[in-house]
Structures are given as C-alpha cells and as structure tokens.
Chains A and B, each alone.
Chain A
C-alpha cells in the first residue's frame, strides 16, 4: 500500500532549519521553490531532509578538490608524527578530513579567518569524537598527549595550508591565473609527497635495524641510494622530451620562456603537446627502481622472518606494517601526482599556445 508522508512540522521552524542547513548556493532560491510547491503549511520533514542531503552532496561534489584534501591529509599525518599509523590515527584523520570537506561546501570566500575557523571546527569535532571513543571504545582513542600535540600542530598547519591552497570556485579565474595556481598547488603536493617519502626512507632504516646492524651500510643502501635514484629520475624528467626546446629561445619574450620553464619543471613525464604520450622508458625504469628501493627494507625483515633467519622478536612489527601502509599510500598517491603534474603542465601548455596565437595575430 502506498503511503504519503504526513505534514508533521510547523513550517516556520522547518523553513528556518532548512535555511540554516542548506549550502549557501541553494539557500537563496531553493526554500522559495519548496515554498511555492508545498505552500506555507505543506512542509514535509522527509522531503526537506532529502533536499538538504542532496544540496550538501551536490555542493561537496562542486567544492571537493582532491589536491587540497590530499595535502590536508599529508599535513595532518605529519602533525601526528608521534603516533604510528594505526586505527585511532586513521579515525582522527578521517573525522578531521570529513569536517574540512563539509566546511568547504559551506564556507565562502576562503579568507584566512575562515581557514582558521575551519581548522578550529575540525579540531573541536575531532576532540568530541575522541572523547566519545574514549568513553565507548577506549582502544579507538589516541593517547591524550599525542592527541594534544598533534591537534596543536595540525590546527596551525591546516590553517596555513588552507589559506595558501584553498580553491575558491565562486570567483571565476582567468586561464592564466588558473594555470599558475595549478602549478603552485601541484608543486606544493609534490613537496609534501617528497617530505612524506623522505620520512618513510628515514624510518625504514629502523625496520632493518636487526637484519642489517651496520648503520653506515644501512644508511648507504636505504637512505642515500633511494634519494640518488629519485634525483636521477627527476633529472631525467627534466632532460626528457619536455626539457629545453628550441622554441624557448627569446623569440616570444620572457613570459613565454617562464611558462615553458614552469611546464618543464613539473613531473609530467612526456611531451604534453602530443596527447598522453607516456614518459621515456628509462624514466619509468628509474621510477620503478626508486619504488623497489623504497620497498626493499620492508621486505627484508619479512623474508628473514619467513626463512627463519630473523626471530619474530627482532622485527618491529608495528613500524613494519605502518611503513608498509605508508609505502602503499605513497605508491598510489604517486599515480595521482603524475596525473596532477601532467594536468598542470597541460594547462601551462594551453597558456603558451594562447600566447603564441595572440602573438601571431
């Protein structure tokens, strides 16, 4: 049997709540549409709730910026460096990121004050959730001192990150500004990824402490070599097909050369003018070697333990699994970083093309 929802709410209250909960873009006209459709006394709570959820979901989709969120995740992870990558930390990061994503959907101009407000709201919700976990399921709560220090650093770091990199979708930007902002954002994420990679390389040496007691050999193999390989890969990328080209001669002036330099500095892995050509084979091999070197110290203790060479007590399992998870996250992020770099390089290339076209006319 088909049922129709009952009109149960005093419409003025529902309208006021709806006005408050709808995202700003919908707030100006949607309540009017609902008013027109239902009339003053015809409000239905399930319909209004559905409308609010749809509005929030739509606004989240519009304001969601993966670069911003990935950056925030890295910044927060670094802020909680004292804690190992465990379920409580994942919960803290998830709650904080969810709040920040929702704040993006609701807040407007991206001013420094708003960025600080966002961070404070996220910290408050995280503290509340932690208090709830401490009461209901203590094993899901972070230790108080880790939480306090991490939240303090995180509050500041997230505020700064949001002031610097938050996208303001309501102010349409000219393509030129957009490409430059994409370049800046991409490099910020590159740097964060490199910092996280560096942290992983340094902590990896702790994992193989018992398998390889000589600290100099350990540092040489697991710290220096990966860094050198990474530097070689970057150098290869710079000297590759997107490197210096004849058109960079001062034919079109300083601005064009500057744009080309920025495009070439990005880790785009191939010529962006010719579609999606993959990077050179040597570059791909070097990248693969870097990741292999990054993973090696994590697999050595595992192999030693399986073969019976290393006793289980000599393996720092928490660190091992934490680093393994971080390695996997960095590997997955690398795909995104390559794409993001390529996209930014393409935006710069479009700007170069537009400049060339304008100079020709």
Chain B
C-alpha cells in the first residue's frame, strides 16, 4: 500500500496563517500572527478566526504548538507559540507552486493578442 500522497490543499486563509507563522519564526504566537494575517489580508481579521485555523492546521499536522510560561503583561496567561512542521511546509510550497502555475497561465492567456475569426 502506498503512503506517499500530495499534501492536502490549503484554503486561502490557511495559506495566510501559515505564511504568518513562517514569517514570524520564533515570535509566532497568537497576537503577532493575528496582526500579520490582518496585514497580509489587508482587512481586519478576528482573533478567533486565526486560532480556529491554527487548530485545524494542527489537526492536519501542519503546525505544532507549545505553551510558554505565564507573564503578568498578559494577565498571568501563557503564550502559545506555533511552529511550522515539514508537512505544513510541503503544503505551503504546493500552494505556492499552484499559485505560480495559475499566474503563469493567466498571464499567458491575457497577454495573447486577440485575433478576429476569419470569415469562411
């Protein structure tokens, strides 16, 4: 039985969240991820939507998380840091490659000169 499979395709919001996790590296916890996703999406995003997506990505094995020590500036609560897993990286690469393919195809289609059909 073969187990080699293409990674499950990512939705647009999942791509944004994964990109934010990659961009923030060691600082990837809830608040900066939320800010980065809002910045990438160019619209306000709810904190909960980011966390729901991170949960889903964790279930898929694309990210993992760990809790840091509680701090007083967060009301005595911990930060949950998120880390990209190899499967997540593969999925993100696949999404990027697909975007490139789509972009190339559209660029080619749109740049083609319009030719009138010859009358028969």
Contact = CB atoms under 8 A, between A and B. Distances in A.
Interface stretch (B12-20, B74-82, B84-92, B98-106): B74-82
B79 A32 contact: yes
Interface stretch (A51-59, A192-200, A248-256, A333-341): A51-59
A50 B46 contact: yes
B1 interface: yes
A33 B75 contact: no
A36 B73 contact: yes
Q: Which range contains the number of A residues in contact with the other chain? A: 20 to 34
A62 interface: yes
B89 to A, nearest CB: 21
A3 B30 CA distance: 26
B31 interface: yes
A29 B1 CA distance: 41
B4 interface: no
B71 to A, nearest CB: 8
B9 interface: no
Q: Which range contains the number of B residues in contact with the other chain? A: 20 to 34
Interface string B28-71: 01110010000000000011110110011001000000010011
Given A58-B55, A349-B1, A353-B1, A32 B77 contact: yes
A53 B48 CA distance: 9
Nearest to B59: A62
Contacts of B49: 54
A35 B1 contact: no
Contacts of B51: 26, 30, 33, 54-55, 58
Given A15-B75, A28-B80, A54 B52 contact: yes
A58 B55 CA distance: 8
Interface in A10-40: 15, 25-26, 28-37, 40
B32 to A, nearest CB: 10
A54 B48 contact: yes
Contact of A33 (B31, B52, B70, B76): B31
A287 interface: no
A37 B75 contact: no
A51 B45 CA distance: 12
A114 interface: no
A273 interface: yes
Contact of B47 (A37, A40, A350): A37
Interface of B: 1, 3, 29-31, 34, 46-49, 51-52, 55-56, 59, 67, 70-71, 73-80
Interface of A: 15, 25-26, 28-37, 40, 47, 50-51, 53-55, 57-58, 61-62, 273, 349-350, 353
Given A36-B74, A353-B1, 15 more contacts: A15-B75, A26-B51, A28-B78, A29-B67, A32-B30, A32-B76, A32-B77, A32-B79, A33-B51, A40-B75, A47-B46, A51-B46, A55-B52, A58-B51, A273-B1
Q: Which 7 A-B pairs give the minimum distances between C-beta atoms?
A: A32-B77, A54-B48, A32-B74, A33-B30, A29-B80, A35-B75, A51-B48
17 contacts: A25-B55, A29-B30, A30-B51, A31-B75, A32-B79, A33-B34, A34-B47, A35-B75, A36-B31, A37-B31, A50-B46, A51-B48, A54-B51, A54-B52, A55-B51, A58-B56, A350-B1
